Amino acid sequence: MARAVTTRQKTINSLVAWMVGLLIFFPILWIIIMSFKAEGDAIKAPLEVLNAPWTLENYGVVQERSDYSRHFVNSVILAFGSTLLGLLVAVPAAWAMAFVPSKRTKDILLWMLSTKMLPAVGVLYPIYLLFIQLGLLDSRAGLVVVLMLINLPIIVWMLYTYFKEIPGEILEAARMDGATLHEEILYVLTPMAIPGMASTVLLNVILAWNEAFWTLNLTAAKAAPLTAFIASYSSPEGLFYAKLSAASTMAIAPILIMGWFSQKQLVRGLTFGAVK
């Protein structure tokens, strides 16, 4: 009997989990469905949308009207560029805080995180002016720096958490074994921190890929990534739901696929230290 109850409970739990999952995924699913419908059919009642004939027409139009590949390349450069630059800054920072902590280390970490609580628009004006003065408007370089800075607290936090998990005794053993600081980092610490670095990179690539506020405000044509590509379809001439959906699908597909294949690593990275 006990077993029967457990099975029923399990089924209910699974159903609830699936429903929640579907609820979260539904908007994305609907966008994908709409992207395969004719412009006229896409705005009909939901059931009629499903019954309407399927078409690839929107993708053709979107491809013709805007340069997908240029936006895609920009997205890749901004997402990976900002993440790598972030790592360069965050690794030494997290390193110092994890292995040579001072009395103020916790305060510094919290202060860094607190910058994420500031509404981005609050600093838009000064940053915009800075960009004008430095001639960085609509440039990839400028945007890479801004995206790096807004994600830096997260990168530092994640790496700090990972480094904290590496036992200090192992590093001391390396020191006793004759490793210089350089060798200690190269042969002992880095190989042990690679899983952590991988999930940090992954999460930050996703965050930078999806970032819209700064990319929309600081780019026009040259440096515009896929977020700007989507936005260009909510135009003043009217809403083109089907085309907007096609553009969105094309924009999110790469990161969705990447996320799908690396979800294990990602979940491990996000829950590291929390469930140990």
Binding piece for another protein, criterion CB under 8 A, among 17-25, 184-192, 213-221, 260-268: 184-192
Binders in 42-61 for another protein, by CB under 8 A: none
- Considering only 69, 169, 260, 275, the residue that binds another protein (CB under 8 A) is 169
Is 165 one of the binding residues for another protein (CB under 8 A)? no
Binding-site size for another protein (CB under 8 A) equals 16
Shortest CA distance to 202 belongs to which of 274, 253, 269? 269
Position of tokens 């705005």?
43
CA distance 260 to 240: 29
Shortest CA distance to 96 belongs to which of 155, 175, 173, 159? 159
- Considering only 174, 223, 244, 252, the residue that binds another protein (CB under 8 A) is 174
Binding piece for another protein, criterion CB under 8 A, among 36-44, 67-75, 111-119, 166-174: 166-174
Binding piece for another protein, criterion CB under 8 A, among 7-15, 112-120, 180-188, 257-265: 180-188
Is 179 one of the binding residues for another protein (CB under 8 A)? yes
Q: Between 9 and 102, name the residue whose CB sits nearer to another protein.
A: 102
CA distance 245 to 251: 10
249 token code pair: 């699908």
- Considering only 34, 85, 112, 188, the residue that binds another protein (CB under 8 A) is 188
Is 167 one of the binding residues for another protein (CB under 8 A)? yes
Is 173 one of the binding residues for another protein (CB under 8 A)? yes
Is 182 one of the binding residues for another protein (CB under 8 A)? no
Is 201 one of the binding residues for another protein (CB under 8 A)? no
Q: Which residues form the interface with another protein (CB under 8 A)?
A: 167, 169-170, 172-179, 183, 187-188, 191-192
